[in-house]
Amino acid sequence: MVTQKPTTPSVEDIVAEWLRTRERAKKISRNTIAVGIVALDHLRRKCPLSPEDLFSKGGELKGSRSGLQDTLERYAIPRKFLKEATTRQAHQDARVLAERLQYGKNLALLSPGEKERQLQKGCALLASHAHAWLGRQPIKVSCDRQQSPASWIASILDKAKGRSGGVVEQHLVGAKLQQRHPGIVVPNNPGHAADAQTGRSGDFPLKEVSYHVTATDGKEATERCKQNIEAGVHPVLLVPRRYLEKARVRTEIEGIEHRVSILAIEDFITQNIIEMSTNHEQDFFSTLKAIVDEYNRRLEEAETDMSLKIEVS
């Protein structure tokens, strides 16, 4: 009886299993897909690789920032998919993939044609995930005119939950502020741009007030609120209604509960819809539509994920 040697998993199988284990909240992030493409692209150009060939001293995958869009384009993935892979988790994901591929040691034993075929199939699998991600539908909300504007905003945030990582919340507040203060230029930064990186005192610093928007309970934003207070700026912390109490507790622990305004995003936007509708003598839905139109404009200007656009009807 002839004993068959165990077959080595193909690159496509390894990538498929890697993607399965990289799911978080039942989805795979753009950053993870992108670093997978970059890692395989490295192997197409040199195989095997050393960890130093792939990763910087700081642990980032080389080519995942500068030149990323050029790499994506080589695999027929639109440049708008991602400007650069920024999350620490994505770079850790890339290291896991490289280790599972043994940095190409097994691939180097194959013929050049077979090695290239396997890597191309792995890249094609990742590209298919990228295109599926790009094909996601926008956030669609049907607004019952007999319900309050608060219920409309709650529906938008509910559909964005677990999908945008706070991007929807930030740009929705930014759109509201811009509509409410047409004479002031309200800053428009990418949702994941840290305040420290942009030199901002908050998401929306406006004169003596700094607005902080979060999709969680404000753990990180609380520290920035303390810094605002020390600088003589009044912080306004905006959180989803379900996190209001937790956010208040955090400020109490820090001893700043009487020096920061904590509001539910739903209430903050709703109040302005009512006020602006009264001032402009128009119905609530028309005001909401104007805010959503401004939201979509700001999203196009600052982000790459256009599936986060909002459609209201």
* pLDDT tens digits for range 145-154: 999 999 999 9
Q: What's the rounded mean pLDDT across residues 150-165?
A: 87
According to DSSP H, which parts of the chain are helical?
Answer: 11-21, 30-45, 51-54, 68-74, 88-100, 112-134, 149-160, 167-180, 195-198, 219-230, 244-254, 265-280, 284-302
pLDDT at 1 over 50: no
User: Are both 118 and 153 inside the same structural domain?
Assistant: no
CB-facing half-sphere around the CA of 153: CA atoms within 13 A: 26
In a domain, 101, yes or no: yes
Q: What is the DSSP string of 27-63?
A: B--HHHHHHHHHHHHHHHHSSS--HHHHB-TTSPBTT
Q: 54 falls in which pLDDT band (50, 70, 90)?
A: very high
pLDDT of residue 2: 46
**Total domains present in the chain:** 2
How many Cβ atoms sit within 10 Å of the Cβ of residue 72?
Answer: 24
Residues written for the chain: 313
Q: Is residue 178 part of a domain?
A: yes
pLDDT value at residue 197: 43
Judgement on whether residues 145 and 294 belong to the same structural domain of the protein: yes
**Residue-wise pLDDT tens digits, 86-121:** 888 999 999 999 999 999 999 999 999 999 999 999
Q: End of a domain among 134, 168, 196?
A: 134
Residue 127 lies inside a defined structural domain of this protein: yes
CATH number of the structural domain spanning residue 260: 3.40.1350
Q: What is the mean pLDDT of residues 238-259?
A: 93
Instruction: Please tell me whether residue 84 adopts helix, strand or coil conformation.
Output: coil
pTM exceeds cut of 0.75: no
pLDDT of 5 strictly over 50: no
Looking at the domain assignment, is residue 6 inside a domain?
Answer: no
Give the pLDDT band (50/70/90) at residue 3. very low
Number of Cβ within a 10 Å radius of residue 125: 19
CA-wise closest residue to 70 among 41, 44, 36, 50: 41
Mean pLDDT for the chain overall: 89
Residue 5 belongs to some domain of the structure: no
Tell me the pLDDT tens digit for each residue of 265-310.
999 999 999 999 999 999 999 999 999 999 999 998 888 778 889 9
- 40 and 170 assigned to the same domain: no
Whether 36 and 119 map to the same domain: the answer is yes
Q: Tell me: do 147 and 234 sit in the same domain.
A: yes
Domain that holds residue 188: 139-312
Q: Do residue 148 and residue 262 come from a single domain?
A: yes
Nearest in space to 174 (alpha carbons), one of 189, 158, 162: 189
On whether residue 2 sits in a domain, the answer given is no
**pLDDT 10s digits, 168-219:** 999 999 999 999 999 999 999 887 654 444 446 678 998 899 999 998 888 8
Scan for tokens 């209201």, then name that residue: 312
Do 99 and 199 have their domain in common? no
Residue at which a domain ends, from 85, 113, 134: 134
Q: Say whether both 97 and 79 belong to one domain.
A: yes
Confirm whether 129 is domain-assigned. Answer: yes
Q: What is the mean pLDDT of residues 6-34?
A: 88
64 assigned to some structural domain:
yes
Of all residues in the chain, what percent carry a pLDDT higher than 90? 71
